[in-house]
Amino acid sequence: MRGRPNLVLVHSPLVGASTWQSVARLLRARGHMAVVPSLGGVLADAGPYYARLAVTVADDIARRADGRIVLVGHSGAGALLPAVAHATAATVVGMVFVDALLPHPGRAWFDTVPTEMRDQLRRLTRQGMLPPWNEWFPPGTIEELLPDPALRGRFCEELPRVPLAYFDEPAPECPAPPPAHSAYLQLSDAYSAEASQAEREGWRVRRRRAHHLAILAEPEEVSATLEELIQGFAA
């Protein structure tokens, strides 16, 4: 039996690395090696964006993780994971998508969402840049998800402004992982379609009655479910 694979927890480019830090600490306490690369500032310059995001994660893996790894992506990071696997020299033995976009090689994010969402984001855009993610929603939405003021404050402080062009850029043509090396953790109703598609394709799927930011607000439950999902990659 080989040792446990290292876990690389990738946050959405729309938020900050703190979203994964509590889960990472709990996984380390359970004996796992867990690293959280930061994508802060990567989208500040002009595109192409996917390649730069993938290389940023791959460089962090080269510095802090070796051997076999499992990539874990939340939200928008799901679409990045195949490109990260292509960019890293490490051996990727599995991928876990946590309330995340599924890989969509050759297609832009805007190609995968309803027209209403595209129109909403275009209306919010000023000089090519979107406001921070928490300003995309009606007042009180983030307060409901993160009622603790200190936790919410740390989360909001990290939120970047993202170029609209990122959502128009096609994802790289990198192969998706095979079903035996894929898993999905659904946290919110918004990602029920992705979880169902993953299930149809033979992935291991777990569903929790939580919300999209449960990786930050409920790290104990999320880390325990992740540990269950990655057991199949450790053999």
DSSP character string of 48-62 = --HHHHHHHHHHHHH
The CATH code of the domain that includes 135 is: 3.40.50.1820
DSSP calls for the chain: -PPPPEEEEE--TTS-THHHHHHHHHHHHTT--EE----TTGGGS-S--HHHHHHHHHHHHHHH--SEEEEEEEGGGGGGHHHHHHH-SSEEEEEEEES-PPP-BT-BGGGSS-HHHHHHHHHH-BTTBPPPGGGGS-TTHHHHH---HHHHHHHHHHPPP-BTHHHHSBBP--PPPPGGGEEEEE-SGGGHHHHHHHHHTT-EEEE-SS-TTHHHH-HHHHHHHHHHHHGGG--
Per the domain annotation, does 235 fall within a domain? no
- Position 1 in a domain: no
pTM check: above 0.85: yes
Q: pLDDT tens for residues 39-91? A: 999 998 888 999 999 999 999 999 988 789 999 999 999 999 999 999 999 99
User: 27 falls in which pLDDT band (50, 70, 90)?
Assistant: very high
Residue 72 tokens, joined:
């874990």
Note the pLDDT tens digit of each residue in 194-229: 999 999 999 999 999 999 999 999 999 999 999 999
Dihedral sign of CA atoms 86, 88, 94, 96 in order: negative
Q: Go through 142-174 and write b for each residue having 16 or more CB atoms within 10 A of its CB, e for each that does not.
A: beebbeeeeebebbbebbbbbbbbbbebebbeb
Cβ(227)–Cβ(34) under 8 Å?
no
Amino acid at the residue 227: E
CA 184 to chain centre: 11
Sheet holding 34-35, edge to edge: 34-35, 6-10, 68-74, 91-98, 182-186, 204-207
Residue-range definition of the domain harbouring residue 103: 6-230
In a domain, 11, yes or no: yes
Q: Per-residue confidence at 234, pLDDT binned at 50, 70, 90?
A: low
| Position 96 in a domain | yes
How far, CA to CA in Å, does 104 sit from each of 78, 171, 178?
9, 6, 14
Over the stretch 140-179, which tens digit does the pLDDT of each residue have?
999 999 999 999 999 999 999 999 999 999 999 998 889 9
pLDDT at 1 over 60: no
In a domain, 114, yes or no: yes
Is 128 a member of any domain? yes
Look at residue 3 and tell me whether its pLDDT is greater than 80.
no
The structural domain count of the chain equals: 1
